[in-house]
Structure 1
Amino acid sequence: MDIFGHDLSAAQLKRRTGDLSAIAGIRQVVLDNGSERGVRAVEVRTAAGLEFDLLVDRALDIGNARFRGVPFGWRSGNGFRHPGLHEHNDEGGLSWLRSIDGLLVSGGLDHTLFGGTVDSSNYAYPPKPTVTHGLHGRLTAIPARLLEAGEHWDGESGTLKVSGEVIQATAFGEHLRLHRTVEVDFDGKEIRLHDVVDNLGFEKTPHMYLYHLNFGWPYVDAGSEVVAPIKSHLWQSDSIAEQRIGYRILPEPIRGFVEQVTEHELVAGPDGRHRVALISGDGGRGIELSWDAATMPYFFEWQNLRDGQYALGLEPSTNRVQGETAAREDGSLTWLEHGESREYRTTIRVLDGVAETSASRAAIRAIYGQPE
């Protein structure tokens, strides 16, 4: 392992410290002030300088994220609000915007994208013929049951592993389970997510899933570039034509900026994975995302570049931007029968220095180009 510039085996490292958590490790904490009070979290640190917090009571999503002290996960100003404060149907279904914060906010499990009312006759409960969803569903406000948080050693290789499960259920409705495993190498710079969603209920149930991966300053800055193998733009918000701010090179923060969304048609690599990078203007730092193209074939870029917000969202998705009603109408909505599941594997890798950002750019360019 590379431990602070020293090539050490596990045995050699253990000779040098009485507690490996001095080098890297996992710590369970409880946030205890303001709207965050009572939220359980798992702090994860690697010897390479990667640090992130898993918010157990917020679907085991990722809150703070830093590399060598520099944040790359976005902070919205909302804080990591306790799920008991979440107002699911307030503000026309947009109250989810009061909870979005941190590197990863997962959408699902039966609904993502904008809300609305849809048929629920599949649950055979006459008093509730329809169900109303808010933006990106209920998942973010459901606490997880923590199953594991610890170290694993295989010979000389060490891994930090956290796993848990989230149940989204109601009588006469959906009964879905998310099993999430998050792993990093003891000396690693990448976060590996492995999610499995299955239907514990006995009625056919809709399933939609989305990762709202949010990046902030200084990884998001004037001159930062989105690098992706883009075949076409499938959809763009009207604000793009009105503001004339492109998707590829980011500007300074803009007062009163109206959010922009582009749905990109990506080309998968030979390994069957989609790959996208955010690279600083000088190439000194970046983040690369990769995920299975078969299970999350769609991808959105969310630009929230206004003063005091200044974020870039990179969003793998199971469905197109038009949402659930459109997916029901065109037959693209996923339905899970009892015992059926869907599996998702995603990697978030920190790019450190020009050599790594250049290699990432070249690998993406080898898959496909992208429009100016």
Structure 2
Amino acid sequence: MIEFAAARGPRLMLDETSVLDIGGCIVESVDIAPKRAIPDDGDPRIDHSLEGFLFTCGPDHIRHRQPIPGTEGKVYPLHGSASGHPARVLRTTFENGNAECRADIDIITVEGLLQRIERLWRIDGVTGEVSLEDRVVNTSNETVPTFLMYHMNAGGKWLDAGTRLEGRMLEGGGFPWTFGKDPGGIFCVEAPASEEGFAEVRLGPIAAIGGKTLRVRFRADTLPYLQIWRNQKAPANIIGIEPVSHRWLLRDELETAGEFNWLKPGESRSYGLRFAFV
């Protein structure tokens, strides 16, 4: 893990063994990542990723396993192929209170095709806001659809009765984090931009980290939907804030609806999000 922090903001542990995703996220001396309080999905790569605060789903598939047409029993893996691919860190700098880390992640998809994520992490030393910029490049010689989803996972044990989800895209503008029927639930809604092309959702206040609220902003042009998931079925105790590129439909339904985002060889698509504890 690479310890990544600035003059202000959370202290992050970047996992260079898996996409340079975020393992630990320490705020007010508390690591709010769920650790082992996760469901066992039967895929060790995903189980490892789920333990952390943020992991990347895609770019060849998102959400759950589905058969690959024209094959005998082969399936798109749970949450795509990115997890478990190591990052090639190009630079890490700490200057004037700010932090920056740039890396490339070369991915072999389930079809055996090459894709690359060009990733840039930044932390603003004045505001403490963390930003992530990703550019997914089709480095294969075939035209392919591209998908992306960010799973931002917090351990439910750190939340309390006063913690709420709030955002313009949510019914009534927000509700308690323990939405739906116990022990969990999931939904996916459109997430229109609120300002500067970003949609915004908040989780808080969280008493365990000094009453701070997690504020997440994400690019509404390439991540036009927000999925929220929680699972308190023991031993799981987790909630996920998940900006995503596509509706919550089966892969073939998205294709039939004309909602694939196609990349020709050499083409790219950019995604991004920002978060802060305020």
Q: 1:172 & 1:315 partners in 2: Cα distance?
A: 25
**Unaligned 5+ runs, structure 2:** none
> Is 1:165 aligned with 2:92?
no
> 2:215 pairs with 285, 288, 299, which one?
288
Q: Is the 8 A contact 1:118 1:325 kept in 2?
A: no
Aligned to 1:228: 167
> 1:64 pairs with 8, 17, 24, which one?
24
Question: Structure 2: which amino acid aligns with 1:44?
Answer: F
Structure 1 residues 143 and 133, CA, compared in 2 at 3 Å: closer, same or farther? same
Aligned to 2:262: 335
Q: 1:105 & 1:54 partners in 2: Cα distance?
A: 10
Aligned to 2:88: 145
> 1:251: Cα distance to partner?
4.3
> 1:206: Cα distance to partner?
1.8
Structure 1 residues 171 and 266, CA, compared in 2 at 3 Å: closer, same or farther? closer
Tell me the TM-score normalized by structure 2: 0.87
Q: Deviations over 1:274-321 (max 9, x none)?
A: 100001277921100001100000110001123443221010001111
> Is 1:202 aligned with 2:147?
no
Q: 1:293 & 1:182 partners in 2: Cα distance?
A: 19
Equivalence map 1:235-254=2 (5 Å)? 248-251=175-178
Aligned to 2:15: 55
Equivalence map 1:270-289=2 (5 Å)? 270-280=195-205, 284-289=211-216
> 1:129: Cα distance to partner?
8.4
Aligned to 1:185: 124
> 1:96: Cα distance to partner?
5.4
Q: 1:75 & 1:51 partners in 2: Cα distance?
A: 16
Tell me the TM-score normalized by structure 1: 0.66
Q: Is the 8 A contact 2:226 2:242 kept in 1?
A: yes
> 1:162: Cα distance to partner?
0.9
**Unaligned 5+ runs, structure 1:** 1-40, 79-89, 121-127, 234-246, 352-372
Structure 1 residues 168 and 302, CA, compared in 2 at 3 Å: closer, same or farther? same
Q: 2:194 & 2:110 partners in 1: Cα distance?
A: 42
Q: Is the 8 A contact 2:23 2:54 kept in 1?
A: yes
Q: Deviations over 1:14-52 (max 9, x none)?
A: xxxxxxxxxxxxxxxxxxxxxxxxxxx110133336211
Q: Is the 8 A contact 1:290 1:346 kept in 2?
A: yes
The answer to which structure, 1 or 2, has the higher relative contact order (CA under 8 A, 6+ apart) is 2
Q: 2:92 & 2:220 partners in 1: Cα distance?
A: 29
Larger Rg: 1
Residue identity over aligned pairs, in percent, reads: 25
Pairwise CA RMSD: 2.9
> 1:76: Cα distance to partner?
2.9
Q: 2:19 & 2:36 partners in 1: Cα distance?
A: 18
Equivalence map 1:206-217=2 (5 Å)? 206-217=145-156
Q: Is the 8 A contact 1:273 1:292 kept in 2?
A: yes
